[in-house]
């Protein structure tokens, strides 16, 4: 069993500082403990930098929930010869990590190879 959680730390924080200081204090706070928890082991913890949507060079994005018409809109957009989409099927890229902002590495990969 494992705990999956996310938190935001200043971009100036190194991964080890987030693991050894920020994360354990954050978890103690969230669990209403009056003491800091021990830092997780390296293999129990992963810190990943987030990107901002402004870092993505997108002309536009069509984002929607199930049954809201995005498939129909997609099909109609594809009828135009100058419209290209990132995948042959509906692209789940924007919400594949259950978060509001994308990981920086994923944003850089999308910029390098938008198809």
Tens of pLDDT, residue by residue over 32-90, are 999 888 888 888 888 888 787 777 777 777 777 778 888 888 889 889 998 887 777 76
Q: Say if pTM beats, i.e. exceeds, 0.85.
A: no
Beta carbons of 48 and 4 less than 8 angstroms apart: no
**How far is CA 38 from each of CA 35, 52, 80, rounded to the nearest angstrom?**
10, 31, 57
Residue 90 and residue 57: Cα distance in Å, rounded?
19
Residue 96 and residue 14: Cα distance in Å, rounded?
25
Instruction: Take residue 113 and report the two structure tokens written for it.
Output: 């190879």
Q: Which residues contact 20 (CB under 8 A, 6 or more apart)?
A: 39
**Average pLDDT of the segment spanning 93-101:** 65
In the predicted structure, residue 115 carries a pLDDT above the cut 70: no
Burial of 107 (0-12, 13-18, 19+ CB in 10 A): buried
């Amino acid at each position: 069993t494992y705990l999956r959680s996310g938190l935001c730390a200043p971009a100036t924080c190194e991964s080890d500082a987030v693991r050894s200081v920020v994360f354990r204090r954050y978890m103690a706070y969230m669990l209403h403990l009056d003491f800091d928890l021990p830092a997780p082991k390296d293999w129990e913890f992963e810190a990943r930098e987030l990107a901002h949507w402004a870092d993505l060079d997108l002309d536009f994005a069509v984002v929607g929930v199930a049954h809201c018409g995005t498939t129909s809109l997609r099909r109609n957009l594809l009828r135009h010869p100058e419209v290209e989409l990132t995948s042959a099927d509906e692209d789940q890229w924007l919400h594949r990590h259950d978060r509001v902002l994308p990981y920086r590495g994923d944003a850089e990969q999308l910029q390098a190879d938008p198809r």
